[in-house]
């Protein structure tokens, strides 16, 4: 089959719309027009209400455009495959998870658009296609964005990032659907752009995406007052389209949900209503499989399945370049998915099967979860839609029940099938099965309760319901609650009885200490206040586990040998580490020194076939207390400390350098430590410590933190959007919450109409369209 991509994209023309500013209740049109009210409280947080889903989407799109139009405008250029035209083919794309050259990005996204996958899904009834409510939300969202752009004018936008730029223009509902599909593919096909396009010298996909998360759902036995409580702490990029936008969406008597949604999506992904609260963590179950294709003799574009030749599909893609010329690319497809350039020879080729390749169901699922009145209804929503693309779900309700499930889309590959069908991988380090594509016996299986073939149905998914707690920090389901290990699932979900990374371990230890009252925060059990304090304790778990042996190393003598052969006096450094309390606070003297030493020990993640600094190795019978200790006498460890101290001294960096001095975002000091060190609310920088004593700007970490207590009187909620509401550097809400996060403070959420109305900073805008 041959597809030809159109060079011109028709843009929707927005009808004439009027805007009025009110200080009273919503003015709802009764003539079929869009109508919504936007109330803004402290920190610019929008509370959008309307009488129907179309109006709600309209108000949300308008409010979002006020704050973050430039980010979505740039991403729409990406989704349309037009970055080479406006920014040049060699510049990097704006994908915050895996950036590639613009030409690679354009070829990939044009191929997705031209495949017709979104068009086919929109033609399907629910649950395969979107429901009517979601369709109206999406249509309204695009219209609201366009209304704001038309009213303001591209030349007069408040954000200088895109003011007057030729690439800024109206968007369509199709753009939003494409964004929803791309979100679902974020850890699947989107990680393989170079291989799909055939970019020479492309590296393999990242072993893990930048996104991560922590989540706790606390039941009645874990909380002081017996209420359900939830902690949401997603770790998503701090820049670009995968930022969270905080919002409350209300249709009186129908929907009332507060939380956060990723840019360009009209539904709340992490949030709560009056009776249920939920969050997500990235699940590292497999999302893709590679199929090895046995090519027909003398034909590189034909492959055998059950002895018969099937021709590859052929797709011609054209990309307009900045100089007015056009780049042509030819892509190939198979029954399994796109054919990769890697490993393609005269005998074999490899095709990528993505379990989320045609998944638009997630947004409907989030919308249904937002309407759930208890965990029973939330589970029913997940069972009906089966659209969670790559995340675990942790939730609680007003009855005080805690719930965990990995309902994410996972290829239906049993352990026996994986063994029987296994083929060698063309991509080193690939964490996915490579299966035999020459026989239909190796196709993904199907469960009777699955809405589409190729995935596991609800009955096969890891789930756990408790009265105490469930927790996850991107570990497998095994240690969701150590009192009830989850085992017996196919390895495609992730392995049980394997080493926990330091962050999941410190998470479970934080809960255990709070339940026993040994963390210094008072009587056992969680309150909303102790939940907040526990989440922001800034504990560095590797230091806690290695401190005693490190100090033993320090007592062996003042001098250690660096990798260059120089003798380095480490006494001052040892004194700094001895005094440090092991918390990565803004003023934590020793926190950065520890990181620089720890990083020089080499990778310590489970499964890494390299030197391990742990004195006591992992024991699956003791997963919460092993590995531990430091091989203080090992030459690798001694050299690592010498090298770290030498780097500080050579560059005249104080050994007492603190996170507040070394870590910044928009010039604001940021506390915290990194994933590998075992920090709960981790931060990540894009590069190493510089000679001036600064890391590059923080680009990933805790993003939308939410602590919720579901009481009989209604939800009590504290939040902080770490990078703030607006990406516009001229906005008063560009860094206001970042300052709060830096200081360990939270925002008290206003959820009820009376709470919102009592805000002295309240502003109200009513929009019609």
Long-range contacts of 608-611 (CB under 8 A, 24+ apart): 611/636
Q: How far apart are the first and last CA of the chain?
A: 42
Output the six-digit token pair for 435: 């299966």
Residue 587 φ then ψ, to 5°: -105, 20
**What pLDDT score does 204 carry?**
53
Tell me the pLDDT tens digit for each residue of 711-727.
999 999 999 999 999 99
Q: What is the mean pLDDT of residues 274-278?
A: 98
Q: What is the mean pLDDT of residues 207-213?
A: 62
Residue 673 has pLDDT above 60, yes or no: yes
**What pLDDT score does 402 carry?**
98
Q: What is the mean pLDDT of residues 26-52?
A: 84
Q: What is the mean pLDDT of residues 586-606?
A: 88
CA dist 207 → 432, 604, 647, 671 (Å): 10, 15, 29, 26
Cis peptide before 568 (omega within 30 of 0): no
Pick from 277, 258, 213, 183: nearest CA to 702: 213
Residue 203 has pLDDT above 60, yes or no: no
Looking at residue 206, what DSSP letter applies?
P
Q: Which of 35, 74, 93, 213 is catalytic?
A: 213
Cis peptide before 652 (omega within 30 of 0): no
pLDDT range class, residue 606, cuts 50, 70, 90: low
**What pLDDT score does 206 carry?**
47
Tell me the pLDDT tens digit for each residue of 558-595.
899 999 999 999 999 999 999 999 999 999 999 999 99
Helix (H, G, I), strand (E, B) or coil at 533: helix
Q: What is the mean pLDDT of residues 328-353?
A: 96
**What pLDDT score does 25 carry?**
36
**What pLDDT score does 27 carry?**
34
**What pLDDT score does 207 carry?**
43
**What is the percent of the chain with per-residue pLDDT over 70, rounded to a whole number?**
93
The DSSP bridge partners found for residue 278 are: 271, 395
For the chain, what is the largest distance between any 2 Cα atoms, rounded to a whole number of angstroms?
Answer: 83
The helix or strand, by DSSP H or E, that contains position 257, with its residue range, turns out to be: strand 255-262
Distance CA 492, CA 497 (A): 14
CA angle 689, 641, 639 (to 5 degrees): 115
Residue with token string 């949604």: 261
Sign of the C-alpha dihedral computed for residues 380, 381, 387 and 390 taken in this order: negative
Pick from 404, 261, 375: nearest CA to 710: 375
Distance CA 544, CA 71 (A): 40
Distance CA 492, CA 484 (A): 21
Pick from 15, 13, 14, 53: nearest CA to 36: 53
Q: What does pLDDT average to over the chain?
A: 94
Tell me the pLDDT tens digit for each residue of 40-89.
999 999 999 999 999 999 999 999 999 999 999 999 999 999 999 999 99
pLDDT range class, residue 607, cuts 50, 70, 90: low
Contact (CB, 8 A) for 330 and 315: yes
**What pLDDT score does 429 carry?**
84
Distance CA 147, CA 13 (A): 10
List, in order, residues 6 or more apart from 199 with CB less than 8 Å away. Answer: 100, 101, 104, 193, 341
Q: What is the mean pLDDT of residues 399-406?
A: 98
Distance of CA 304 to the CA centre of its chain: 38
pLDDT range class, residue 268, cuts 50, 70, 90: very high
Distance CA 708, CA 217 (A): 10
The helix or strand, by DSSP H or E, that contains position 121, with its residue range, turns out to be: helix 117-122
Please classify residue 545 by burial: count the beta carbons closer than 10 Å to its beta carbon, then call 0-12 exposed, 13-18 middle and 19+ buried: buried
Q: What is the mean pLDDT of residues 509-529?
A: 98
> Which has more confidence, 583 or 10?
583
pLDDT range class, residue 557, cuts 50, 70, 90: confident
Q: What is the mean pLDDT of residues 468-476?
A: 98
**What is the percent of the chain with per-residue pLDDT over 90, rounded to a whole number?**
91
pLDDT range class, residue 6, cuts 50, 70, 90: very low
pLDDT range class, residue 209, cuts 50, 70, 90: very low
> Which has more confidence, 199 or 406?
406
Tell me the pLDDT tens digit for each residue of 96-110.
999 999 999 999 999
Sign of the C-alpha dihedral computed for residues 253, 138, 11 and 321 taken in this order: positive
Q: What is the mean pLDDT of residues 523-528?
A: 98
Residue with token string 């072993």: 207
Q: Annotated catalytic, 111?
A: no
Q: What is the mean pLDDT of residues 388-392?
A: 98
Tell me the pLDDT tens digit for each residue of 138-189.
999 999 999 999 999 999 999 999 999 999 999 999 999 999 999 999 999 9
């Amino acid at each position: 089959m041959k597809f030809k991509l159109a060079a011109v994209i028709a843009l929707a023309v927005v009808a004439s719309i009027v805007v009025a500013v009110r200080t009273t209740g919503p003015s709802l049109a009764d003539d079929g027009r869009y109508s919504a009210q936007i109330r803004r409280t402290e920190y610019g947080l929008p509370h959008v209400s309307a009488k129907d889903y179309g109006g709600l989407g309209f108000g949300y799109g308008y409010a979002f455009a006020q704050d973050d139009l430039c980010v979505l405008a740039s991403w729409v250029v990406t989704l349309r495959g037009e970055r080479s035209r406006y920014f040049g083919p060699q510049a990097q794309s704006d994908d915050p998870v895996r950036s590639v050259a613009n030409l690679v990005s354009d070829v990939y996204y044009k191929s997705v658009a031209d495949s017709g996958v979104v068009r086919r899904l929109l033609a399907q009834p629910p649950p395969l296609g979107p429901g009517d409510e979601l369709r109206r939300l999406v249509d309204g969202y695009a219209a609201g964005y366009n209304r704001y752009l038309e009213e303001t004018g591209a030349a007069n936008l408040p954000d200088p990032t895109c003011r007057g730029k030729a690439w800024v223009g109206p968007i369509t509902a199709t753009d939003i659907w494409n964004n929803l599909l791309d979100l679902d593919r974020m850890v699947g096909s989107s990680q393989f752009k170079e291989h799909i396009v055939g970019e020479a010298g492309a590296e393999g996909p990242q072993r893990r995406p930048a996104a991560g998360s922590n989540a706790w759902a606390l039941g009645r036995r874990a909380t002081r007052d017996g209420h359900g409580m939830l902690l949401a702490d997603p770790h998503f990029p701090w820049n670009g389209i995968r930022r969270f936008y905080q919002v409350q969406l209300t249709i009186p008597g129908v929907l009332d949900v507060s939380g956060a949604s990723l840019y360009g999506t009209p539904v709340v992904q992490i949030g709560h209503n009056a009776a249920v609260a939920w969050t997500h963590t990235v699940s590292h179950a497999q999302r893709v499989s590679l199929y090895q294709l046995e090519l027909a003799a003398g034909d590189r574009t034909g492959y055998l399945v059950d002895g018969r030749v099937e021709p590859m599909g052929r797709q011609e893609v054209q990309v307009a370049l900045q100089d007015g010329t056009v780049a042509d690319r030819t892509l190939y497809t198979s029954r399994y998915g796109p054919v990769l350039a890697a490993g393609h020879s005269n005998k074999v080729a490899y095709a990528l099967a993505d379990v989320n390749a045609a998944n638009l169901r997630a947004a409907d699922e989030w919308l249904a979860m937002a309407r759930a009145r208890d965990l029973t209804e939330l589970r029913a929503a997940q069972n009906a839609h089966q659209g969670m693309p790559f995340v675990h779900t942790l939730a609680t309700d007003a009855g005080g029940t805690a719930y965990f499930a990995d309902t994410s889309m996972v290829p239906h590959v049993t352990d026996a099938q994986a063994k029987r069908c296994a083929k060698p991988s063309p991509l080193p380090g690939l964490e996915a099965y490579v299966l035999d594509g020459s026989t239909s016996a190796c196709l993904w299986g199907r469960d009777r309760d699955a809405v589409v073939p190729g995935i596991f149905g609800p009955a096969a998914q890891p789930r756990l319901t408790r009265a105490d707690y469930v927790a996850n920090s991107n570990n497998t389901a095994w240690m969701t609650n150590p009192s009830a290990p989850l085992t017996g699932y196919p390895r495609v979900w992730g392995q049980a009885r394997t080493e926990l990374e330091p962050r999941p371990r410190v998470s479970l230890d934080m809960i255990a200490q709070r339940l026993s009252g040994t963390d210094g925060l008072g009587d056992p059990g969680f309150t909303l206040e102790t939940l907040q304090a526990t989440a922001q304790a800034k504990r560095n778990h590797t230091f806690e586990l290695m401190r005693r042996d490190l100090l033993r190393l320090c007592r062996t003598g003042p001098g250690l040998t660096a990798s260059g052969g120089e003798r380095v006096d480490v006494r001052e450094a040892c004194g700094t580490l001895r005094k440090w309390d092991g918390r990565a606070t803004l003023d934590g003297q020793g926190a950065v020194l520890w990181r620089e030493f720890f990083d020089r020990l080499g990778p310590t993640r489970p499964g890494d076939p390299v030197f391990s600094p742990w004195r006591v190795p992992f024991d699956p019978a003791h997963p919460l207390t092993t590995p531990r200790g430091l091989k203080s006498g090992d030459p690798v460890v001694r050299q690592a400390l010498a090298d770290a101290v030498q780097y500080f001294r050579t560059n005249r960096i104080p050994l007492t350098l603190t996170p507040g001095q070394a870590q910044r975002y928009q010039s604001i000091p940021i506390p915290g430590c990194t994933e590998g060190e075992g920090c709960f609310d981790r931060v990540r920088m894009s590069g190493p410590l510089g000679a001036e004593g600064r890391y590059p700007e923080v680009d990933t970490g805790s993003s939308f933190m939410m602590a919720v207590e579901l009481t009989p009187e209604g939800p009590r909620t504290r939040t902080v959007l770490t990078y703030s509401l607006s990406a516009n550097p001229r906005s008063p809400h560009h860094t206001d919450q970042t300052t709060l996060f830096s200081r360990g403070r939270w925002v008290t959420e206003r959820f009820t109409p009376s709470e919102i109305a009592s805000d002295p900073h309240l502003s109200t805008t009513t929009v019609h369209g």
